[in-house]
Structure 1
Amino acid sequence: MHILFLTDNFPPEVNAPASRTFEHCREWVEAGHKVTVITCAPNFPAGKLFEGYKNRLFGRETMAGIDVVRVWSYITANEGFLRRTLDYVSFMLTATPASLAIARPDIVVATSPQFFTACAGYAVSRLRRVPFMFELRDLWPESIRAVGAMKESGLLTALEKLELFLYRKAATIVPVTHSFKAKLCERGVDPGKIHVVTNGADLQLFQRVSKDRELSESLGIQGKFVAGYIGTHGLAHALDTLLDAAVLLRDEGRDDIHLLFLGGGATRAALAERAEMLKLDNVTFLDSVPKAEVVRYWSLLDASVIHLRRTDLFTTVIPSKLFESMAMGIPVLHGVRGESADIVEREEAGLTFEPENPAELRDRLVRMAEDRPLCERLAQNGMAGARKYDRKYLARKMLHIIEDCAMKNSSRHKEEKALSDSDIRRK
């Protein structure tokens, strides 16, 4: 079977959509299928081309047996609603015709968070006369409203109508949370075509390792209890809460606790500037590093902080870094309500705190720093729980859904052809 996958994020980018797509596609290739990915030149999150790449109209490479087609897109940093939208739309406009230059697929899969990629997926499915599968990683454009990136307007209403159109036209929808499925069902989407495949972790890459002493010493954090935020610094993450907690810790003389930030995004520069203005010696900011280097930085952490804004929408999401933290045996400090908090509490892999509540975060940090047996118990529980979210298993689960969708489409075409032939014979 030939699977065509459309995504505007792919390695060497290291964000969650890129990792999930690559790890799934790699497993599908190993299962004996042909996989083609249409994506753009890597530039996320800084809006700068990665070394060795050009923003060309059409280019090809092979990664882990995956045929990767890279198309031109309008490149910009992960900030600013208008420019990011131009980025998304440009990818849609170039990915669609690029699909005609590859062998006919058996199915087209397109992934969010934004759905202009899904628009391209639907268009390609019509052009190539194959089923369209929508992988739903975010309830966009509802998330735009949740972070205040766009005011209520006719445009937002139009986007929501387009969103519902894509849900109706998709042969199958694969959301990453059960809460997303419930939301779609509430909006009238057929539950029979919705199949949940959660995020997970590559357990071959993310394993418990000893702390990198050399790196710890170079950063001046040896001997400290290090809590880290690793990932995109975006509007949705409300990371000022972590800085506010750092202020409380500093004012209380808790210089044994240090906060480490690694990554980039729309709010990264402002956060670093604020930390410098507040003279927070207990905070360190680091730029994004290649995926192969990320584990070294994870190893520095005694706790992983996961945080999103306090809004109803984010009760439906499960940040992928939760599973990476669990797999590495790093206790979680979880500031997200809803389905993901349920996982943390069910697996006993960390401590939860109220989103945007720096005092609660401070309290949890102090508790962990003063109770190392608690941390070890949470670490062991997390590693045991992570086995339920092994990316290999999840990739196979999604592959079964893809195969079923493609098979139903093939059977339907055969039935239609048989009926057509029968009509011809009767005439």
Structure 2
Amino acid sequence: MKILFLSDNFPPEGNAPATRLYEHATRWVRAGHEVTVVTCAPNFPEGKLFSGYRNHWRRVEQIDGIRVVRVKTYITANEGFLKRTLDYMSFMLMGFVMGLFERRPDVVVATSPQFFCAIGGWALSVAKWRPFVFELRDLWPASIMAVGAMKKSLAIRLLEKIELFLYRRANAIVSVTESFREDLVSRGVPREKIHVVINGVDLDRYEPRSRDAELEREFGLAGKFVAGYMGTHGMAHALPKVLEAAEQLLHREDIAFFFAGSGAERGRVEQIVTERGLHNVRLIARQPKEAMPALWSLCDVSIVPLRDNPVFATVIPSKIFESMGMGVPILMSLPEGEATGIVRATGSGVCVPPEDPAAMAAEIARLAAQPQSVEGLRQQAWSSAAAFSRDTLAERMLTVLSEVRTR
């Protein structure tokens, strides 16, 4: 089968959409399928080109058997609604135009969270007379309103109409959560066209390991209980509240917080740490994907926060699966929903109310004082990871693509 996939994120970018697509595509290639990914020059989330790349009109490369076509786009940092919209629209246009020059595929797939990419994928499927699969990673534009970037307006209503248009035009929708499927069904999208393939973990890369001694020395973490946050520092993640929890634990010399990543809120995080003298917080910039297992090894618990908004009860942060793969217990701080249900059902971590620094600080202090409890959570996290293996999930999505092709 020949798969043409549009995504504006792809390695060496290391965010969740890029990782999911890469880990699925490599497995599809190993199974004998041809995969072409149309994407842009890597720049997320700082809006700066990665070393070795230029914003060419078109550049083709091979990454682990995947044919990667990078197209020229308007590049900006992951902040500011207008600039990001221009970024998204430029990829929609260029992805469609350059996709026209690709060999006719058996199926065209495009991914969200922003659906301008999906518009390009749908248009390309029409031009090539091929079925279109919409991979739904976020309820956009609902998530825009949830983080306060926009309020209900004529523009939002227009975006919602485009959103429903794409759901109806797609031959199949691959949702990353059951909650997303239920939301679409409630809005009139036929249940039978929606398939759920949640995020998972590459167990070839992530597995329990001893704390990296060199990094432990570099960041002064020896003898400390480390609460880590790994990933995008975005508007949705309520990181100032996590820093309030860190401030409440300043008196605990045995506890440290470790942040790795970048994003729209990174500057604010750095400002808060400096202004409040949070000497118990270590900050490092975004790291390449291959460095992440060593960084995860530093963590005794993985903080997974989101803002206190009902929209975030429907999401499943992908970092919980990497935590499981590394055998790192999860400290979840988001509205009760599908993600908290997974953590509770697997026994892989603990949950506290969202945007509640006092509850988070108290739970971290409790875990630091109860190593046996932490070890039990660690064992549960690791034993649960197999159920979310990327091997199984990639095969599940491939089945959806194959069924769409043969209809």
Which residue identity is paired with 1:5?
A: F
Query: Partner of 2:176 in structure 1?
Result: 176
Q: Distance in 2 between matches of 1:113 and 1:179?
A: 15
* 1:238-257 equivalence runs, <5 A: 238-250=238-250, 253-257=251-255
Query: Partner of 1:224 in structure 2?
Result: 224
Query: Partner of 2:267 in structure 1?
Result: 269
Q: Distance in 2 between matches of 1:299 and 1:291?
A: 14
State the Cα distance separating 1:101 from its structure 2 match.
1.2
State the Cα distance separating 1:151 from its structure 2 match.
2.1
Deviation track 1:192-220 (CA, whole Å, cap 9, x = no partner) reads: 10000000000110110110111111111
Q: Distance in 1 between matches of 2:373 and 2:304?
A: 18
Query: Partner of 1:105 in structure 2?
Result: 105
Is residue 2:156 matched to residue 1:156? yes
Deviation track 1:177-206 (CA, whole Å, cap 9, x = no partner) reads: 000000000000000100000000001101
Give structure 2 stretches of 5+ with no counterpart.
Answer: none
Whether the aligned pair in 1 keeps the contact of 2:259 and 2:284 (CA below 8 Å) is yes
Which residue identity is paired with 2:353?
A: E
State the Cα distance separating 1:312 from its structure 2 match.
0.4
Q: Distance in 2 between matches of 1:360 and 1:154?
A: 39
- SS of residue matched to 2:386: helix
Query: Partner of 1:3 in structure 2?
Result: 3
State the Cα distance separating 1:256 from its structure 2 match.
0.9
- SS of residue matched to 1:101: coil
Deviation track 1:128-154 (CA, whole Å, cap 9, x = no partner) reads: 000000000000000001001012211
State the Cα distance separating 1:223 from its structure 2 match.
0.7
Deviation track 1:1-42 (CA, whole Å, cap 9, x = no partner) reads: 100000000000000000000000111111111000000000
- SS of residue matched to 1:69: strand
Deviation track 1:59-81 (CA, whole Å, cap 9, x = no partner) reads: 10001100000001110111111
Which residue identity is paired with 2:113?
A: P
Deviation track 1:309-349 (CA, whole Å, cap 9, x = no partner) reads: 01100000000000000110001100122100000000000
State the Cα distance separating 1:221 from its structure 2 match.
1.4
Q: Distance in 2 between matches of 1:45 and 1:194?
A: 30
Q: Distance in 2 between matches of 1:281 and 1:81?
A: 33
Whether the aligned pair in 1 keeps the contact of 2:237 and 2:305 (CA below 8 Å) is yes
Q: Distance in 2 between matches of 1:388 and 1:84?
A: 36
- SS of residue matched to 2:100: helix
Which residue identity is paired with 2:273?
A: A
Q: Distance in 1 between matches of 2:152 and 2:338?
A: 27
Q: How many residues get paired?
A: 406
Q: Distance in 2 between matches of 1:281 and 1:255?
A: 10
- SS of residue matched to 1:93: helix
- SS of residue matched to 1:195: strand
TM-score by length of 1: 0.94
Query: Partner of 1:48 in structure 2?
Result: 48
State the Cα distance separating 1:45 from its structure 2 match.
0.7
Which residue identity is paired with 1:394?
A: L
TM-score by length of 2: 0.99
Is residue 2:294 matched to residue 1:302? no
State the Cα distance separating 1:108 from its structure 2 match.
0.3
Q: Distance in 2 between matches of 1:385 and 1:366?
A: 25
State the Cα distance separating 1:308 from its structure 2 match.
0.3
Q: Distance in 1 between matches of 2:52 and 2:196?
A: 36
CA-based RMSD of the aligned residues comes to 0.6
* 1:398-413 equivalence runs, <5 A: 398-408=397-407
Query: Partner of 1:124 in structure 2?
Result: 124
Whether the aligned pair in 1 keeps the contact of 2:334 and 2:355 (CA below 8 Å) is no
State the Cα distance separating 1:299 from its structure 2 match.
0.6
Q: Distance in 1 between matches of 2:234 and 2:22?
A: 23
Query: Partner of 1:362 in structure 2?
Result: 361
Whether the aligned pair in 1 keeps the contact of 2:46 and 2:77 (CA below 8 Å) is yes
Query: Partner of 1:423 in structure 2?
Result: none
- The structure with more radius of gyration: 1
Q: Distance in 2 between matches of 1:296 and 1:175?
A: 31
Which residue identity is paired with 1:330?
A: V
List 4+ stretches of structure 1 deviating above 4 A.
Answer: none
Give structure 1 stretches of 5+ with no counterpart.
Answer: 409-427
